[in-house]
Amino acid sequence: MAVNLTVEQLKMKELISKTDSQQLYPFPSTRFQGSKYKITNWIWENVKDLEFNTVLDAFGGTGSVSHLFKNKGKQVTYNDILKFNFTIGKALIENNHEQLSKEEVDFIITKHNQLNYPTFIQDTFHNVFYLDEENQWLDYVVTNIKKLDNEYKQAIAWFALFQACIIKRPYNLFHRANLYVRTADVKRGFGNKTTWDKPFEEHFINFVKEANKAVFSNGTSCKSISYNALDVPNVEKYDLVYIDTPYISAKGVGTDYLDFYHFLEGMLDYDQWKERILEKYKHLPIEGRGTNEWTKKNKIYNAFDELFNKYSNSTLVVSYRSDGIPSEKEIIELLKKYKNNVIEVHSKDYQYALAHKKSSEILFIAK
Ligand SMILES: C[S@@+](CC[C@H](N)C(=O)[O-])C[C@H]1O[C@@H](n2cnc3c(N)ncnc32)[C@H](O)[C@@H]1O
């Protein structure tokens, strides 16, 4: 296919050819469940010879794989059903130039006397995830972020706030009201109390620095969108679709991202948060918990089938784990319904954050 490249793209191409499997712009560190950021070079080694210019990252998460493709000069569309992730996609994928300055960071982390700050987090989440003074910090920082008038600068600030919130949580999740894990006066054989107790402000500033370094233009127009992957419009425009669905373990336990990260989704919708909270649960999740087809073992076969059918005109690259439901064999059978050529590649062992035993990371490439 003949393509006319812009000057920026040509420059990028030249740089890429010099950097081989490395990424020119580093991806920020993250403790998000299931992130592939530690294995993006391995993914690239396995897909770099495929012919493609446009790519959809259908279950984008942290955006680490989208960012890899952006680094490699591809026109990337990042998608995730959760709005907090979509905002991360705005900050790190769609954003070509905007960074947060020191003055803007100072504005965000300062409590301004002339402003009348709401107190929703401190009123609602006492003793749930963070200490009282940390909840107060969150109330005014969220309010300050909403006052920024540039959507990409605002998205970087959200990104840094979300990562700071994740890193200060035991297990890096919001699935239990378990502040006591952090505060109990016990000898610990696990966890990272120093990280949990480090002030929000310090984490926030570090993550802004990391995000600023990840912002660049590759000369194409990259986008962040937020749909159920089964409803993404105009799919015929993607040469390649990267698929990294939530994982269901062999025991049938799914990964409910909304339940794991509801607190971040809530902060982003601060003014309506109250109406969305399910008060019957101690960890105060928001409605929608448990409704995702990718978390249910009796729905996931059909979901994969529908997904592969929907994107059957594109090259499919599927990240998978060797011990999940459906099995590797079943995934291959489903892919073969729609694609003639299916290749399976196993990585060296790859340990997931919460897994006790090692499971191997797989890529299915279907053309
Ligand atoms: C395994 S994670 C993706 C990790 C990502 N590749 C990374 O490197 O960070 C799965 C993602 O799918 C998103 N998700 C779950 N159900 C979805 C759906 N129906 N449509 C689109 N995204 C969905 C979750 O919010 C989560 O971020």
Q: In 206-355, where do the E strands start and end?
A: 223-225, 240-243, 315-321, 342-350
Give the residue, 352 or 119, on which the prediction is more confident. 119
Closest CA to 207 of 91, 117, 41: 91
Query: Which residues, 6 or more positions from 163, have their beta carbon under 8 angstroms from its beta carbon?
Result: 28, 29, 30, 31, 203, 207
Read off the pLDDT of residues 241-263 as tens digits, 9 standing for 90 and up: 999 999 998 899 999 999 999 99
Specify if 2 maps to a domain: no
- Rounded to the nearest angstrom, the distance between the alpha carbon of 332 and the centre of ligand 1 is 21
351, 358 Cβ separation under 8 angstroms? yes
CA atoms within 13 A on the CB side of 310: 18
Q: Give how many domains the chain has, as a whole number.
A: 1
Name the band, by pLDDT with cuts 50, 70 and 90, for residue 322: confident
- Whether 190 shows a pLDDT value over 70: the answer reads no
Q: What is the pLDDT of residue 326?
A: 94
- Whether 20 shows a pLDDT value over 70: the answer reads no
Specify if 212 maps to a domain: yes
Parent domain of 319: 7-366
| Among 56-60, 316-320, 360-364, the least confident range | 360-364
- Rounded to the nearest angstrom, the distance between the alpha carbon of 114 and the centre of ligand 1 is 40
- Whether 192 shows a pLDDT value over 80: the answer reads yes
Name the band, by pLDDT with cuts 50, 70 and 90, for residue 337: very high
Q: Alpha-carbon Rg of the chain, whole angstroms? A: 21
Name the band, by pLDDT with cuts 50, 70 and 90, for residue 184: confident
Specify if 84 maps to a domain: yes
Task: Tell which atom from ligand 1 comes closest to the C-alpha of 82.
Answer: 25
3-class SS letters over 70-87 = HHCCCEEEEECCCHHHHH
Is 8 exposed, middle or buried (CB count within 10 Å of its CB: 0-12, 13-18, 19+)? middle
Q: What is the pLDDT of residue 189?
A: 61
Specify if 1 maps to a domain: no
Spatial separation of the C-alpha atoms in residues 240 and 162, rounded to whole Å: 29
| pTM (predicted TM-score) | 0.93
Q: What is the pLDDT of residue 1?
A: 44
Mean confidence (pLDDT) of the chain = 92
- Rounded to the nearest angstrom, the distance between the alpha carbon of 264 and the centre of ligand 1 is 15
Read off the pLDDT of residues 295-313 as tens digits, 9 standing for 90 and up: 999 999 999 999 999 999 9
CATH of the domain at 331: 3.40.50.150
- Whether 282 shows a pLDDT value over 80: the answer reads yes
Specify if 300 maps to a domain: yes
Q: Bridge partners of 317?
A: 242, 365
6, 219 Cβ separation under 8 angstroms? yes
Q: Which residue owns the Cα nearest ligand 1 atom 27?
A: 61
Average pLDDT over residues 317-321: 95
Task: Tell which atom from ligand 1 comes closest to the C-alpha of 245.
Answer: 10
Name the band, by pLDDT with cuts 50, 70 and 90, for residue 211: very high
Query: Angle at Cα 157 formed by Cα 227 and Cα 193, nearest 5°?
Result: 100
Name the band, by pLDDT with cuts 50, 70 and 90, for residue 354: very low
Scanning the structure block, which residue is given the tokens 């994107």? 311
- Rounded to the nearest angstrom, the distance between the alpha carbon of 260 and the centre of ligand 1 is 12
- Whether 314 shows a pLDDT value over 90: the answer reads yes
